[in-house]
Amino acid sequence: MVELEHRSAVSEVAWDWSASDGSRLAVFPVPGGVAVLQAAGIVVLSGETGEELWRYRVSEGEVSGNVSDDGRHVVLRSEGDAGADTGGTELTVLDSGTGEIVHEFDSSGVEAVERVGWMPQIAESLSAVMGDIWFVHEEENVVAYHLGDDRDVWSTPTSDLSQCAGVGSVDDLAVLNEALVVAVTCYEQPEDREPVDMVEGREFVSGLVGLDPASGEELWRHEEQLGLFPADSQGRTLAVQESGLLVAEYPYTELRQFVDPAEGEVRGLGRNNVLWSSGDGSRLGVWHAESRDYRIEDRSGGVLASLEEETGASPDPTVDGGGFLGLEEGVLHITEEILADAEEPVIGYFSGFEGNSEIDVSGHGGARWEVHAAVSVPGAVVVSHTETEGRSGVIGLR
């Protein structure tokens, strides 16, 4: 497979692809391009051309799934015919580069597989796969399962990870070559009181723990109190950057932390956010919330480039509502919707250090588009959408 670089800037539509069933799509970066998760399975497209590289579909029913944190595997959960005693719930692990089936096994007894994320078909618990090990958080333990035969490689109690005499929880997992990073929370719940997880002013610990993926041995630990209340810490998500670095986001306060899994380095970002990082992790694209400035910084926070300084003003995009995506040479703002028969159907506005550009989709056919996600993948920035006529698709920007 030809290795493609991530785009440093975008200015136009390169290709488009339409789904056959009209379901809402989820998109993930994988080697060579983008994995598109549908209700009926997965399709992998070239980031450069939009050409279909491979697909896997289930014969009946719907699938849920995810792409592993390192991008090397696609993990799908489906209702098969594994047997009446188990209900036939099957887990299929595919090589994301080739579509080859790596492992298949019955997952009916693993409760964590049932948890889903922001979209019905995305199972957050299916992203923690590396090599031949799948990591899950069950009620009392974090368990490393060997794919293919269901045996435990290792298991660590939640109480050991949280080091908590009160209420301890495991909130999220992310796994890369260097470490399995586990987000944990600890707080005291008085016996004579209503639950205090949403009460401000309570003392609690927000922890991040790095474990050796092969053995479960603790490599590093970082603890502080971050967030409004314990539930803020428990609601954290760990987002993996292209470089293998992490951003931990706290939902209620919108606070974030930048995490290097290899070194155990944790840097507070406040309400700012790392939107991009270079392949070696030495440079970060940081969105500064108050000034609405996008800056390229080194790991210590030194500013290497600033949109505000380069252009003399904060970015003033001509689209709104759909969020933004950081790239090496600027930030892409995405619209939330394109109205039917819009005279100027603009899907994105790129604010760059060396200039700006609107990205129009004039050939979109006159239907109303609802835009869902924009993701940087090898060869393109891809944007997923649905239309009022029941169609859905993905476009690639370059």
Q: What tens digit of pLDDT does each residue of 365-393 get?
A: 678 889 999 999 999 999 999 987 788 99
Residue 36 lies in a domain: no
pLDDT at position 86: 40
Higher pLDDT, 102 or 297: 297
The Cα 128–Cα 109 span in angstroms is 18
Those residues with Cβ within 8 angstroms of residue 342's Cβ, 6 or more apart along the chain or in another chain:
none
222, part of any domain: yes
In a domain, 332, yes or no: no
CA–CA dist 162, 202 (Å, integer): 17
Instruction: Quickly state the pLDDT bin for 339 (edges 50, 70, 90).
Output: confident
Residue range 152-159: mean pLDDT, rounded: 94
pLDDT, residue 311, reads 77
Residue 28 lies in a domain: no
> Which residue segment(s) compose the domain that 257 sits in?
155-271
pLDDT at 262 over 90: yes
In contact, 181 and 170? CB cutoff 8 Å: no
User: Mean pLDDT in the chain?
Assistant: 88
| Nearest-angstrom CA–CA distance, 359 and 376 | 16
Mean pLDDT value of segment 303-310: 92
The tokens describing 73, both together, are 């595997």
Mean pLDDT of the 255-272 span: 95
pLDDT at 245 over 80: yes
- Taking residues 325-351, report their average pLDDT: 91
Residue 171 lies in a domain: yes
Residues 77, 91 contacting (CB under 8 angstroms): yes
Confidence of residue 109 (pLDDT cuts 50, 70, 90): low
What does the pLDDT read at residue 264? 96
Choose between 20 and 44: higher pLDDT: 44
Give me the pLDDT at residue 116, please. 45
Residue in 15, 7, 27 with CA at minimum distance from that of residue 51:
15
User: What is the pLDDT averaged over residues 211-217?
Assistant: 96
Mean pLDDT of all residues in 337-354? 89
Predicted confidence (pLDDT) at residue 183 exceeds the cutoff of 80: yes
Residue 261 CA: distances (Å) to CA of 62, 193, 212, 220, 287:
34, 38, 10, 9, 21
- Per-residue confidence (pLDDT) for residue 391, from 0 to 100: 87
In a domain, 246, yes or no: yes
Please report which confidence band the pLDDT of residue 148 belongs to, taking 50, 70 and 90 as the band edges.
low
Q: Can you give the pLDDT at residue 341? A: 80
Tell whether 32 is covered by a domain. no
The CA distance from 226 to 216, in Å, is 25
Tokens of 49: 């051309």
Q: Which residue has the higher pLDDT, 37 or 120?
A: 37
Q: Select the more confidently predicted residue: 395 or 132.
A: 395
Whole-angstrom Cα Rg for the chain: 22
Residue 47 CA to residue 97 CA, distance in Å, equals: 12
Least confidently predicted of 83-97, 244-258, 276-290: 83-97
pLDDT of residue 85: 43
Higher pLDDT, 92 or 59: 92
Q: 50: how many CB neighbours lie within 10 A of its CB?
A: 20
pLDDT value, residue 340:
84
DSSP reduced 3-state for 350: strand
Quote the pTM value.
0.89
With 0-12 CB in 10 A as exposed, 13-18 as middle and 19+ as buried, what is 362?
exposed
For residue 255, is it within any domain?
Answer: yes
Instruction: Flag whether pLDDT at 81 surpasses 60.
Output: no
The number of domains in the chain is 1
- Which token pair is 18? 């339409």
User: Which ranges in the chain belong to alpha helices (H)?
Assistant: 158-162, 230-234, 307-311
How far apart CA 29 and CA 67 sit, in angstroms, is 8
Average pLDDT rounded to a whole number, residues 43-67: 90
Residue type for 51, please? E
Query: What is the spatial distance between Cα 117 and Cα 125, in angstroms, rounded to a whole number?
Result: 9
Question: Percentage of residues in the chain with pLDDT exceeding 70?
Answer: 90
> What's CA 338's distance to the chain center, in Å?
25
For residue 151, the model assigns a pLDDT of 78
Nearest to 91 by CA among 154, 28, 145: 145
